[in-house]
Amino acid sequence: MDFLVKSGLPEKQRTACVVVGVFEPRRLSEVGERLDEATGGQISSIIKRGDMEGRLGQTLLLHNLPGLMCDRVLLVGCGREREFNDRNYKTVVGTVIRTLNDTGSMEAVAYIPELNVKGRSLAWKVTQFVVSAYDTLYRFDELKTKKETIRRPLRKITLAVPSRRDLTEGEHAVLEGLSIAEGIQFAKDLANLPGNICTPTYLAEQAQQLAEEYDAIDCEILDQAQMEELGMGALLSVAKGSEQPPRFITLEYHGGEGNEKPIVLVGKGITFDAGGISLKPAHQMDEMKYDMCGAAAVLGTLKAAAELELPLNLVVLVPSCENLPDGRANKPGDIVTSLSGQTIEILNTDAEGRLILCDALTYAERYQPEAVIDVATLTGACVVALGREASGLLGNNSPLINDLLAAGRESGDRAWELPLFDEYQDQLKSNFADMANIGGREAGAITAAAFLSRFTKKYRWAHLDIAGTAWRSGDKKGATGRPVPLLTRYLIDRSEELLEP
Ligand code: BES
Ligand code: MN
Ligand code: ZN
């Protein structure tokens, strides 16, 4: 879909549809009032008759109004003006896009970013409009033989901004929105693919394609033999239980100076997690195809960064394999040696994410990184603690954590910090190895991060547990593309810091 930015009077728009907001109770927005005047009070008289209260998500489509140059006017309810916040703004955008797509306006001019959202700039509203629009229209029907077709789909939407002085800011915000939205879409598509298609080999191929698409990206794929050579014993122990060969993906994005330290993103790439010998219950086990959402998100973020040509260096690492039960699979009690040299007693083979991540985190040392952020669908405990709204965030450096929290608030892709006190380390004691891979029933999201922290002592590090946020269950089952918005916002903020001396 095309997004344009324009400033201009609503009554002068030659378009299939002009979209304006109505607040509760029955109060036209400023632009709405202007439009109403041009029609000689037609719109307000329709509202007075009670056809549009202005409740959030309500819509009323009007045709052939006098005095206007457009075919239709779409009135969209925005709720109470005092309560018009981020969440309601996104609901309004979703309603607008869905209604236009369903009612035959193939293009429209929307006076929606002009509405006041508490504490939010015009750029924020425009970027968010684009991202929410993509999210609303997203379908994953690649694998359906009969696809739902829309007869007259929405093709072009023009976002009206208050004045000509706002055009540059608006256009830049559209570009940012498009890059983020496409990064999200890339992540969703990868994550929604089933485990029999999206294997470690497939992930590696997608990574290589990214490197072909963008000159600034280089890709390297390590196979099992190369990982053995390096000594990635923890990762390989998980991979052993599967017929699918493991892959270790490295992508480098060179947007900054050659000597500038990179930010490293690490994504958990378990393409299916059956639990291994500590087998999971059958109920909803299909959802464990989503255990590569961390990988999908870091790849989507890299794509967005490359699209935006951010002036920084970025490295993406994806350790990828399946976790299945098998005669060769890890057994509870097995002890493996990680790339760091530390030994691990595997008390539960279902705590496999940390086993593949720890080797990737050690591997990250070779980049002498500015910071390392790992992203993983790591623990069910995180879903219990925070539900599906916030990703769990832990790490060893408060400025880094604060930057990520801020990026989450700004993008609406929120994270929440959990404590990583030293005392939690005690739960990982093993009688037979340097550590156990599980820490008991209590504080499961924290002990998982405590495990990872033993491999991240040489750099600033943060960990995002996205087990609750990366996908939705139930009848709207599907990947969300989170935390691509948070990570991309973080990188944009970092780039702006680099540019300002
Ligand atoms: N991939 C799962 C985590 C998960 C579970 C994500 C449910 C989303 C929903 C991870 O590999 C896992 O199995 N973790 C175990 C750890 C436990 C054995 C310490 C868990 O959370 O049950
Ligand atoms: Mn598991
Ligand atoms: Zn897992």
Does 499 score more than 80 pLDDT? Answer: no
The one catalytic residue among 188, 289, 354, 460:
354
User: 55 exposed, middle or buried (CB, 10 Å; 0-12, 13-18, 19+)?
Assistant: middle
Angle at 128 between CA 497 and CA 399, to 5 degrees: 30
Q: Ligand 2 centroid vs 351 CA: distance in angstroms?
A: 5
Q: Provide the pairing of β-strand 371-376 with 461-465.
A: parallel
Angle at 401 between CA 489 and CA 264, to 5 degrees: 65
SS (H, E, C) 399-429: HHHHHHHHHHHHHCCCEEECCCCHHHHHHHC
* 350 pocket-lining for ligand 1 (C-beta < 6 Å): yes
Residue 166: pLDDT band by 50, 70, 90 thresholds?
Answer: very high
Known active-site residue 120: no
pLDDT, tens digit (0-9, with 9 covering 90-100), for 452-484: 999 999 999 999 999 999 999 999 999 999 999
Known active-site residue 414: no
Round the average pLDDT of the chain to a whole number and report it.
98
The one catalytic residue among 26, 34, 280, 477:
280
| CATH tag, 2-163 | 3.40.220.10
Does 500 score more than 90 pLDDT? Answer: no
* 444 pocket-lining for ligand 1 (C-beta < 6 Å): yes
CB atoms < 10 A from the CB of 219, how many? Answer: 17
* 15 pocket-lining for ligand 1 (C-beta < 6 Å): no
Q: Where in the chain is the domain with CATH 3.40.630.10?
A: 181-499
Peptide bond into 483 cis (omega under 30): yes
Which residues, by Cβ under 5 Å, contact ligand 3, an ion? 270, 273, 291, 353
Q: Ligand 2 centroid vs 273 CA: distance in angstroms?
A: 6
Does 501 score more than 70 pLDDT? Answer: no
Does 354 score more than 80 pLDDT? Answer: yes
3-state secondary structure of 54: coil
Q: Where in the chain is the domain with CATH 3.40.220.10?
A: 2-163
Ligand 1 atom closest to Cα of residue 377: 6
CB-based contact 319:356 (threshold 8 Å)? yes
Report which bound ligand comes closest to the CA of 287: 1
Provide the pLDDT for residue 222. Answer: 99
CA distance 179 to 134: 11
Provide the pLDDT for residue 497. Answer: 87
* 291 pocket-lining for ligand 1 (C-beta < 6 Å): yes
What single-letter DSSP state applies at residue 166? G
Provide the pLDDT for residue 202. Answer: 99
* 322 pocket-lining for ligand 1 (C-beta < 6 Å): no
Provide the pLDDT for residue 221. Answer: 99
pLDDT, tens digit (0-9, with 9 covering 90-100), for 205-249: 999 999 999 999 999 999 999 999 999 999 999 999 999 999 999
For the 181-499 domain, the top CATH level (class) is alpha beta
Residue 327: pLDDT band by 50, 70, 90 thresholds?
Answer: very high
Give nearest CA residue, ligand 1 atom 17: 351
Residue 436: pLDDT band by 50, 70, 90 thresholds?
Answer: very high
* Nearest residue to 490 (alpha-carbon basis) of 226, 350, 310, 266: 310
* 410 pocket-lining for ligand 1 (C-beta < 6 Å): no
Does 310 score more than 80 pLDDT? Answer: yes
Q: Ligand 1 centroid vs 448 CA: distance in angstroms?
A: 10
Give nearest CA residue, ligand 1 atom 7: 380
* 347 pocket-lining for ligand 1 (C-beta < 6 Å): no
Choose one of 350, 354, 356 to mutate for the ligand 1 pocket test, by most ligand atoms within 8 angstroms of C-beta: 350
Give nearest CA residue, ligand 1 atom 16: 351
Q: Ligand 3 centroid vs 432 CA: distance in angstroms?
A: 24
Largest CA distance in the chain: 84
CA distance 316 to 373: 10
Ligand 1 atom closest to Cα of residue 278: 18
Does 133 score more than 90 pLDDT? Answer: yes
Give nearest CA residue, ligand 1 atom 9: 380
